[in-house]
Amino acid sequence: MGIHDNPAMTNTTTRSFDTLGLNPATLDNLRQLGYLTMTPIQAASLPTALAGKDLIAQAQTGSGKTAAFGLALLERLNPRRFAVQALVLCPTRELADQVAVEVRRLARALDNIKVVTLCGGVALRGQRASLENGAHIVVGTPGRVMDHLARGYLALDALTTLVLDEADRMLDMGFLDDIVTVTKQCPPERQTLLFSATYPEGIEKLAKQFMRSPEQVTVADGTAKSLIEQRFYEVTRPTRFEVVARLLNHFRPVSTLAFCNTKQQCKDLVTYLQQQGFSALALYGELEQRERDQVLAQFANRSTSVLVATDVASRGIDIKELSAVINVDITPDPEVHVHRIGRTGRAGESGLALSLAAMYEMGAVGKIEQYQKLPSTWYKVDELTPTGKGPLLPPMVTLQILGGRKEKIRPGDVLGALTADAGFSREQIGKIVVTEFTTFVAVQRDIARLAMDKLNAGKVKGKSVRVRLLGT
């Protein structure tokens, strides 16, 4: 690539954030967030990024990459200047939302930094108003950011940092032209930080066209990835679904992301798992945004055990504490395999990646071995024993409140109704997600019915609400 190669620092280098010369308030905040040492990708990229140099970093979701660029862009930001100084382009709305959440967390010790997300599927008008109210940082998808530029709602002349997050996926999704259009409107002296899990040819072209002598960092194999335990199982076409059920009963993961190669396979597997008494939902391309939000809310709040997804539909999902990934079908593309298994075992947690392969998929397994430079370890299906603990049930149940942002409901109102009014403890309540018209609240399984009855009988934000249980 003609780019200086700088393999990740090893553990001989200090991994403390103190060595970076960060703002003391930020350092304090990192300690409060429990970020005690840098992750390998942070150790490898922060010195370069903080020095203002362009950077190409190879990093998976879960490696701590958001903080790697987030800390760098925050350090350069002038809170008193009310203009967009950093732009982060992401492939999907979900990822943009997660990046915005993480950047806000990292910024909370600094003066009133405004982060605005600009993604499709939402009216332009509200986004325009947020921009007019002043934004320091914009996080968005290329198409929508381009729209705002074209209409003159967004100006990038004060931009100091441009981040391309999951650049390979943005290219996969056909965003190249949009990225080029947006990048051309950024000041030429800005810093560009590019994060990508893989380096297809398009990335090199993008870098040549828009980056200035970028440093390249990769995290040596075996650091981030070693926390993922990969197990392969030989199956036949007719036994595949049954083996998925046996794996779930054997390992009993709280949250499993199961990948299939086709939408039909996803639907069939979900039907099978539901018949077997598992709590499983499917995520595939054609779901409406509303259905997609509902499925993701139920999986993220641990009230659904298994999410069965195609690769395309799963893009950008970032579910913390994903205990297992199951490759129900082996993907013919080894890079996709690495993306899939990278969803588990994040930020220091250990994860389980289980792959099912029939004879006709052994060629694909061979390609994966070559790509990972790792022989696969095979286990016997016969050794999978049910634990005898009864069906695998998710720890939480989702209550759906018919009412959301339109009714001015906020998470605190729901929490108040359940704790102060209904007398539940904070620990019995899980994630609360408020969308435009509806609110999802996770509660512990054993109080679900009672919680629903109490909410239906009581009030949220001074008003009666209608509440139902989802998926039970």
Nearer to ligand AMP, 349 or 421 (CB): 349
- Tell me which residue has tokens 């939480």: 396
Nearer to ligand AMP, 279 or 344 (CB): 344
Q: What residues contact residue 26 under an 8 Å CB cut-off, 6+ apart?
A: 71, 74, 75, 106, 109, 110
Q: What residues contact residue 436 under an 8 Å CB cut-off, 6+ apart?
A: 404, 405, 406
> What are 93's two structure tokens?
């709305």
Q: What are phi and psi of 19, to 5 degrees?
A: -80, -5
List the beta bridge partners of residue 469: 399
Minimum Å distance from CB 315 to ligand AMP?
A: 14
Nearer to ligand AMP, 136 or 343 (CB): 343
> What are 357's two structure tokens?
């392969």
Minimum Å distance from CB 256 to ligand AMP?
A: 19
Q: Using CA atoms, how far apart are residues 236 and 169, in angstroms rounded to an integer?
A: 32
Q: Using CA atoms, how far apart are residues 39 and 29, in angstroms rounded to an integer?
A: 16
Strands 215-218 and 55-58: parallel
Dihedral (Cα; 448, 443, 403, 464), 10-degree rounding = 50
Nearer to ligand AMP, 14 or 387 (CB): 14
Nearer to ligand AMP, 187 or 348 (CB): 348
Nearer to ligand AMP, 219 or 432 (CB): 219
Minimum Å distance from CB 107 to ligand AMP?
A: 13
Minimum Å distance from CB 355 to ligand AMP?
A: 23
- Tell me which residue has tokens 């806000």: 104
Q: What residues contact residue 83 under an 8 Å CB cut-off, 6+ apart?
A: 136, 155, 157, 158
Q: Read out DSSP for 58-99?
A: E--TTSSHHHHHHHHHHHH--TTS-S--EEEE-SSHHHHHHH
Nearer to ligand AMP, 345 or 394 (CB): 345
Nearer to ligand AMP, 94 or 318 (CB): 318
Minimum Å distance from CB 399 to ligand AMP?
A: 25
Q: Read out DSSP for 218-241?
A: EPPTTSSGGGEEEEEEE--GGGHH
b/e map of 341-366 (b: 16 or more CB within 10 Å)? bbbbbbeeeebbbbbbbeeebeebbe
Nearer to ligand AMP, 60 or 249 (CB): 60
Question: Does residue 302 sit in helix, strand or coil?
Answer: coil
Minimum Å distance from CB 196 to ligand AMP?
A: 13
Give the footprint of ligand AMP on this chain (CB under 6 A): 35, 38-39, 42, 61-67, 102, 318, 320, 346-347
Amino acid symbol at 293: D
Minimum Å distance from CB 117 to ligand AMP?
A: 16
Minimum Å distance from CB 89 to ligand AMP?
A: 15
Minimum Å distance from CB 68 to ligand AMP?
A: 7
